[in-house]
Amino acid sequence: MNNFSVNILRSGLVLLYLGLIACVILAIGSVYSYLNTGADRSKMLHTEQLEQRTYRPIITWDTTAVKGRSVNKTMLATIEKDYLNAWRVKANALKNNDINGVSDFYTKRSLGKLKSIIDYNIKNGTTVEMTTLEHHPKIEFMSEDGQIVVISDTEVLQYQKTYQDNQIIDEQNTSNDYKVVLLLQDGHWHIRHLVSTGVRSITSNFETLPLHSKVRGINYYPQKFPWDTFNDSITKATFDSDFNLLKNQGINTIRIFIGYEDFGKEYVQSKKVNKLLELLDSAHSNDLDVLVTLFDFYGNYDVEDWTMTTQHLNQLIPQIMNHPALLGYDLKNEPDLDYENRSPSMVDSWLEQMIYRLKLLDQDHPVTIGWSNAQAATGLSEDVDFVSFHYYEDLDELSNKWEKLRSQLSEKEIVITEYGWSSYTGILGLSSSEKEQAEYHKKANSILKEKKIPAMSWTLYDFNQVPDKVTGILPWRRNPQKFYGFIDVHGNKKPTFKHLSN
């Protein structure tokens, strides 16, 4: 017994010793590696740092009639970078009323002019948020030694939002013309002169487009790829079989979602667009119209970011706007849910601007915003071609809410772009909710029919997984989202399937 405890004591001591040694070695090791951080030769020059551009307005250069030295692509790229940076830092300075950082892109003298504006605005409690969405610079002249450039930048599409004592007091889109002299100093092009030669106020004036369809629709995600319709591994056959099924049930419209990041933000990826075109082709061959929801999961809205979202539209829309299956665009899914985090004015300004940009590109397809509920649906109704909202409330109130909205928005068509019922039975799986779901859809259909409400249900399939970004990670929020479908995860038609078409 005694011997045994001695052995325990011994082995305990040995283990303690080994543990101590391990700790000491670990400590020495971490001190050593800490002292070596930053000493990596390959990182000494910071050559690995790639500049990420955060300001990308549409810019088209004219270099056809340059006096003096001819301008090559490399020079043009540097001029473009510094010129746009000059606009970016100016926008930043006016927003924050802070001149810091501007001197990298403005000469001392032109900096003074900007500084007096900022001083005046600080004194008067004014701040200005601005961005430029389009530039059409023409290089008039480059000096023989490549140190001076003169540019005429015409039809610069500018947006300005003016705050007085932190209250928005004015929002305006203008088209400006400038003459600019840039000097190359310390390897950067600096603005020496910037002279406004013309300003025109722009008001978007587009006709309201009709919705050429009696919508009987459904929101669509492939069963295996919820919130990821354009996954690499999805095939056209999936779309074909799903859409054929929908067609046979009398559905004539689907609503799909384009993730802003998924499609590559300001660099729209062609492989994603090709998948989207496959989907549209498949929908077309099955007589389905497609309502394309843009900017899914986008949440920045900041004026600083507008050039990026504009680029996104400019690259994406021309590739799909002539497709026969395209019904129209839902600019953003439930943007009113971002009001709390980002402020209504910020979100609305962005929506207005993006509708305007979208309209500039495509004036043949109607645009809507997918508001999350009937109360929010009156927002920006002047700007959209038809109003759309989502209805997850009590069906008994649907008729009243519809009538009320109908009378408020008498000039616009209105579509319910989401409604539905989850057959989630809770953790214990006691109640037979699939029946309830069937009853919901039966009742909904009868109301929709009676009131002649164009609507789109949520959604075709039950899903095994729902991404965190949709509902968050809380199981009582996430799990119901898996059971809104007409077809369950095993591919069986749920009782509600016979009510698929509204």
Partner 1 sequence: MILRNSHILIMIVTLLMSSKEHPYVDPTYRLINTTTEYLAGDNIVLEISATTDDIPLLKIMGNQGIILIKPLKNDAHLKYPIPQFISSEAGVLYWKLLQTNLEGKLKILPKNIHHIESYVGPPTLEASKDDFTMITILPVDEFDNPQLDNTTVTLKNFMDFKKEEKDLMINNLFTFDILNAHTSTGKLITTVTSGNVSSKEHTIDIMAGRAVDFTLSRKRNHPYADGNQTLQLITSSITDRYGNTVSDGTLVTFYIQTEHGATRQTTATTINGVATANLLHPEKAESWEVRALIPNMAVSNYMKIEFLPAIKDFDIQITGRSIRVTSLTSFLGQIIPDGFTVEAIIVGNDSDHNLNKGTLNGDVTFYLDPNVFEKGDYDIKITAGGIVKHLKNVAIE
- Classify the C-alpha dihedral 134-140-146-148 as positive or negative: negative
Cβ proximity to partner 1, 161 vs 255, nearer residue: 161
**Collapsed DSSP state (helix, strand, coil) of residue 310:** helix
CB of 210 to partner 1, least distance (A): 24
CB of 79 to partner 1, least distance (A): 16
The length of the chain, given as a count of residues: 502
- Residue 129 amino acid letter: E
Eight-class DSSP state of 497: G
Out of 10, 43, 53, 113, which residue is the one contacting partner 1 (CB under 8 A)? 113
Of 313, 257, 259, 253, the residue nearest 288 (C-alpha): 253
Residue 469, C-beta contacts closer than 8 angstroms, at least 6 positions apart: 227, 297
CB of 49 to partner 1, least distance (A): 31
Cβ proximity to partner 1, 143 vs 408, nearer residue: 143
What number of helices (H) and strands (E) belong to the chain?
A: 12, 14
Cβ proximity to partner 1, 161 vs 494, nearer residue: 161
Cβ proximity to partner 1, 113 vs 435, nearer residue: 113
Cβ proximity to partner 1, 158 vs 417, nearer residue: 158
CB of 209 to partner 1, least distance (A): 22
Between CA 64 and CA 71 the distance in angstroms is: 10
146-205 residues near partner 1, rule: CB under 8 A? 147-148, 150, 152, 160, 162, 164, 169-170, 172, 174, 177-179, 181, 183, 192-199, 201
Residue 476, C-beta contacts closer than 8 angstroms, at least 6 positions apart: none
CB of 134 to partner 1, least distance (A): 17
Of 459, 373, 474, the residue nearest 423 (C-alpha): 459
Between CA 130 and CA 117 the distance in angstroms is: 14
345 binds partner 1 (CB under 8 A): no
Cβ proximity to partner 1, 172 vs 241, nearer residue: 172
Binding site for partner 1 (CB under 8 A): 67-68, 90, 94, 109-110, 113-114, 116-118, 120-121, 124, 126, 128, 130, 140-141, 143-145, 147-148, 150, 152, 160, 162, 164, 169-170, 172, 174, 177-179, 181, 183, 192-199, 201
